[in-house]
A and B are shown apart, each in its own frame.
Chain A
């Protein structure tokens, strides 16, 4: 086994992946984490020691021991339904992206004597996340990715600050977390709803589809998405000619022959609208949105949370070297890479990059490196991604895609900005409510 691993590193990477996977599986249940970490460290040292020694660079000091860098991942998960089974989130959504980035970091880390491990902890959607968070802190996690609700994130924000923990929000798109509830120790790799809406709006305006109808759902997150759409319309000169609310009456999403009713309901719901170019759907809750395309009273394209969807990534994006991360992700997970996977990949890569450049795991140095003016990361989006220094939101292009492929990428040509064109997406510095 030893020979094989030294001969071709690919096997090594696979072995590391499976160990990482089983490791976090065990840690999730909080069973003897210290022993496992030790075993993992030992395993990693055995595997990498010969290479590390053989490849000492002039920039490295000789005989440097392996530094283990633990990255936590706190997520709220429950099985969810969707209007289309294709849209049901995979069990490991997000976590898989973090895992692939851990492998990437470890490939780099073996040249520098650094190894990375992922410590995943799961709770329910509305659970109190404080105990879980405390457990992770006790285990020594100083860098924690979160995929939890805005309210859950707020409940641990001060606790994180008091324990010197840096948080990377990879899931919540709430603008409030970057505005009135912003924190100096919370970085956001997930885009905001306003960034997504602006990315979409720029394209629609570029297409000269300026008259919009807004159909929105009755849950809070649907309303927040609708708010972002309204803001984007005002910002980029589109006109919302009518709005309609689709009340969630708690109907079952999947019923035999339900589709026959839907075919009749959706045209009626979209009947007698004023003249419009496009129908915008705001239904993050998956109550009616996916039913709208092809069923509107008048034939119009659909965009928003259904039809043409704005997101941080697309499973079919192959531009800008994207096929490399897509291939790597598919090889590791046997499924395609989703936006949350990319958001988690980016967060773990940011930490990996910071550990590489600061040559260690000192949270203060890592934080200073990430917050420096010249910090940037390559993330397969055609240009570097950087942080907004007023709220630590990641600046990033927004991809617009349907179920099959990428249709366009925003910012669109012609939307100019004195600092960065990426700041035409989302709430900009002059409008900010964040005061750190």
Chain B
């Protein structure tokens, strides 16, 4: 009976842990020291650091949480890491210098930006083979996919366009000019808009997904900071499509934007050269990678206050949180 009780207690505890906001693993790619740091989002402590390929940047996870995908840019490959064993269990033929990618909503297809070849490579994840190569503008980087998986958006950093690609035909359907050095593409979860950050232009363009035209340009102003230091990179929009977070690079801040009015509501000071962002699955926290301070910052999305910064590896670049 006693053992039964304790078993029950453990089960309850495990269930609680599994359902809690604070029980997900956070994976951070460290560009400089070729590692991925694993952080527990509950304790906000480093759990483990694993060695990966050279210059890890883009990082994402399969929808079942079993496999981590990491762009090893200098090895010209995407590595697959088993999240249970933390072993590299395979690679995907990404094409040269993969930097960022996006996984289709059904988890079957990975779209990779190949900076050096002006291509988007489409990879069948299960077969580990290349399905298509789509020629895009100069220096492809940002990758976003619509919630229905029908439209993929790639940004090209020197061409300064967002290329809308039909995922069934792999053809470009629209090219939309945005500001200088577009780094990131993020669909609103309701599919109505795509937000494109422009690092050198210093803006975020909101593109209407119906008309495929820029309907609004968000600008940022921080007292005491010269405008050149405001360089938007990572963008994440909350599940209810109401609030957006924009990482502002060397401005060392994350901007909180009302996604309905496009007003910037707050600037959260995090760490130096903040690049990428990821929500926890419950949406209660968002995590920023602060490259030059070698740490990540947990931000409470209720209060939009920084909660804690955790030291990771050298030059943290990308971040993804396990869905389960």
Give A residues with C-beta under 8 Å from B: 7-10, 12-13, 51, 54-55, 57-60, 104, 107-108, 111-112, 321, 324, 327-328, 331, 349, 353, 356-357, 376-378, 383-384, 420-421
Contact = CB atoms under 8 A, between A and B. Distances in A.
Interface string B191-219: 00000000111100000000111000000
Interface of B: 97, 115-119, 133, 135, 137-139, 156-161, 163, 171-177, 180-181, 199-202, 211-213, 226, 228-229, 231
Given A58-B211, A324-B115, A377-B180, A104 B138 contact: yes
A384 B228 contact: yes
Contacts of B137: 107-108, 111
A10 B117 CA distance: 7
A8 B133 contact: yes
B174 A57 contact: yes
Can you list the 9 inter-chain pairs with the closest CB atoms, starting with the nearest?
Answer: A9-B135, A378-B200, A383-B228, A108-B159, A378-B181, A55-B172, A111-B175, A378-B180, A57-B174
A222 B174 CA distance: 53
B175 A57 contact: yes
B172 A58 contact: no
B116 A328 contact: yes
Nearest to B117: A10
Contacts of B201: 376, 378, 384
Nearest to A417: B226
A377 B159 CA distance: 11
B174 A420 contact: no
Contact of A59 (B158, B160, B177, B231): B177
28 contacts: A8-B119, A13-B118, A54-B172, A55-B173, A55-B175, A57-B173, A57-B175, A57-B212, A58-B212, A59-B176, A107-B118, A107-B159, A108-B138, A108-B159, A108-B161, A111-B161, A321-B157, A324-B115, A324-B139, A324-B157, A331-B116, A356-B177, A357-B177, A377-B180, A378-B180, A378-B199, A384-B228, A421-B226
Contact of B138 (A58, A60, A107, A327): A107
B118 A10 contact: yes
Contacts of A328: 116
B226 to A, nearest CB: 6
A360 to B, nearest CB: 14
A42 B75 CA distance: 40
A88 B184 CA distance: 41
Nearest to B231: A383
Contacts of A384: 180, 200-202, 228
Nearest to A376: B180
A58 B115 CA distance: 26
Contacts of A378: 157-158, 160, 180-181, 199-201
Contacts of B160: 108, 353, 356, 378
